[in-house]
């Protein structure tokens, strides 16, 4: 079975900055045209450090997301792959909640703003 932890399935994009029993803080970086393989996120707070243009895909569902640098958004637990469809590199910080009761699904793809 394929590992769906983004730091294992996509280590070239995700790295752990800090972790304890309740949260894990990840840094994400990519450049235009780069794509991730499918992976899971628990309920997460995402802070964009650069402008953010990407296509998120889960199964047959896709959603294009654009966020400005300095945005903070809620990401419900989800499984997806991503593609940088913008003209600039992406740099974000993700604070994953380890003790969240929600499970990953494709029902909520991308951030809730």
Give the per-residue pLDDT at 3. Answer: 74
Task: Identify the bridge partners of residue 39 per DSSP, sorted by sequence position.
Answer: 80
> Running along the chain, 113 residues long, what does each successive block of 10 average in pLDDT?
84 97 97 97 96 95 97 95 97 93 58 62
Looking at residue 1, its pLDDT comes to: 39
| Contact call for residues 66 and 52 (beta carbons, < 8 A) | yes
Helices (H), the chain: 6-9
pLDDT at 94: 98
Residue 65 sits in which domain range? 6-97
Residue 13 belongs to some domain of the structure: yes
Decide: 42 and 97 in contact? Cβ < 8 Å.
yes
Q: Which of 42, 31, 33 is nearest to 5 (CA)?
A: 42
| Residue 109 counted as domain residue | no
Q: What is the CATH number of the domain that holds 10?
A: 2.60.120.10
Q: Is the dihedral of CA 73, 77, 11, 22 positive or negative?
A: positive
Residue 64 lies in a domain: yes
For residue 26, the model assigns a pLDDT of 98
- The domain total for the chain is 1
Q: Rounded CA gap, 101 and 8, in Å?
A: 23
């Amino acid at each position: 079975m394929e590992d769906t932890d983004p730091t294992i399935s996509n280590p070239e994009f995700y790295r752990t900055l800090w972790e304890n029993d309740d949260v894990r803080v990840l840094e994400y970086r990519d450049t235009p045209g780069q794509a991730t393989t499918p992976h899971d996120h628990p309920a997460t707070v995402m802070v964009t450090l650069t402008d953010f243009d990407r296509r998120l895909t889960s199964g047959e569902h896709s959603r294009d997301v654009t966020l400005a640098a300095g945005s903070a958004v809620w990401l419900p637990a989800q499984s997806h792959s991503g593609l940088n469809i913008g003209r600039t590199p992406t740099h974000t910080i993700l604070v994953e909640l380890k003790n969240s009761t929600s499970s990953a699904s494709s029902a909520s793809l991308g951030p809730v703003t």
